[in-house]
Structure formats: structure tokens, C-alpha cells
Amino acid sequence: MWVSDVTAELAARSARVDDAPEMVRLACVMFASMGLDEPGDEWRRDAAAHLGARLGVDAIGAVVDHPERSNRLIASAAATVSTRLPTPTNPSGRYAYIQWVATDDDWRHRGCARAVMTSMLAWFDDHDVRAVELHATPMGEHLYRSLGFWEGRGAPPLRRRAWDPPPAS
């Protein structure tokens, strides 16, 4: 198969519940690229069940199927959609948080991450989700900035996380 033939087949589609285990596998590819330890089989099962229960409820996903292997994905992304209190700039209060943007190593730099991201951004536009956030890895930052993500203005985001305490002052 010619590379151009493969590239033509790399279109994103909406994730289905039965894609959850493969989306979790790809999330683990992303975690490894970030230097995190392998989460293990129990976490993978629990995460797939969690994602599967939420897809179509308060979560969406976009995936790219492997062009030659059935039931195998080469890229995926997931997002949760929530409603916060409305603001003058976001009257619906609908927000999304994108996670798990990942592409198998052998398929990187072929537009797969862009395909899943543009698919999800189109869904957000169609469903009045006016605020979308993500955390960028160095590998993905250029892509996200090219799609219109930036630091924003106004109050800076602050976090409180049990696993990541603030530095001593």
C-alpha cells in the first residue's frame, strides 16, 4: 500500500463504547511518552469501563481506525463536557476538557492527531460548547496552538491536586 493510499484513509470518526479499551491503550501510549509508569491491567479495565459508561452522556471521543487491522485504533482523543455557571462570554456555561490525545508511534506525523482534534472541535461548535481546555505536552503544543488554543487572558488557572502539592514558599 502506498503512503498516499494510507493517508487518504486516516479520517476521524466519533468514538463508540466498544472503542473504549483501544482508547485506553492509546492513552497509555501518551502516558509513556510523558514519562509516566505503565498504569497496569486493573487501571486499564477500570478506565475503559469508566469511559465506556460516559461516552455519549457527558464525554465524547474521536478516533482513527487502523487501515488494515479491524478493532484497532491508531489515534484517539477524549473529552468531558460539563456545564458550569454561565458567564457573559459563555451564556450556556458549556465547557469541555480534552484528554488522552494520542497516536501510535508508527502513525505519528501523518495528521491523525489533527483529524481527531478537528473532529472534536467541530462537535463542540455544533453543540454550543464555547470554552475548551486542555493541557499540552511539548509534543502536542504546536498542533494545539495551530488550532487556536492559547494561554488566554484574565485570571490565570490555578490548581489544587492531592498528587501534586504546591512548592514550599
Q: What is the pLDDT of residue 5?
A: 40
Q: What is the pLDDT of residue 2?
A: 32
Q: What is the pLDDT of residue 9?
A: 67
Q: Which residues, in sequence order, are CB contacts of 83 under 8 Å at separation 6+? A: 92, 93, 94, 95
Per-residue model confidence as pLDDT tens digits over 91-121:
999 999 999 999 999 999 999 999 999 999 9
Complete domains list, the chain, with CATH:
3-146 (3.40.630.30)
Q: What is the pLDDT of residue 6?
A: 43
pTM, rounded to two decimals: 0.89
SS (H, E, C) the chain: CCHHHHHHCCCEEECCHHHHHHHHHHHHHHHHHCCCCCCCHHHHHHHHHHHHHHECCCEEEEEEECCCCCCCEEEEEEEEEEECCCCCCCCCCEEEEEEEEEECHHHCCCCHHHHHHHHHHHHHHHCCCCEEECCCCHHHHHHHHHCCCCCCCCCCCCCCECCECCCCC
Identify the residue with better confidence: 4 or 161: 161
pLDDT band at 4 (very low <50, low <70, confident <90, very high): very low
Mean pLDDT of the 26-52 span: 95
Mean pLDDT of the 62-81 span: 96
Residue 83 has pLDDT above 60, yes or no: yes
Residue 145 has pLDDT above 50, yes or no: yes
User: Of the given ranges (60-64, 73-77, 148-152, 158-162), which has the lowest mean pLDDT?
Assistant: 158-162
Sheet holding 12-14, edge to edge: 12-14, 59-65, 73-83, 94-103, 131-133
Question: How far is residue 126's CA from residue 138's CA, in Å, rounded to a whole number?
Answer: 29
